[in-house]
Amino acid sequence: MQGVIKSYDPGTGDGVLIRETDLAEFQLADSALEGSVFRMLRQGQRVLFVLDGDQRATSLSLGSEVDMRTPDIG
The pLDDT tens digits of the residues spanning 35-59 come to 887 788 999 999 999 999 999 999 9
Output the CA torsion 18→24→10→40 (10° steps). Answer: -40
**Could you give the CA distance from residue 4 to residue 20 in angstroms, rounded to a whole number?**
7
- pLDDT value of residue 40: 82
Could you tell me which residue, 65 or 4, shows the higher pLDDT? Answer: 4
Q: Where are the domains of the chain?
A: 2-62
**Class of domain 2-62 (CATH, top level):** mainly beta
Range with the poorest average pLDDT among 1-5, 10-14, 31-35? 31-35
Q: Does 27 score more than 80 pLDDT? A: yes
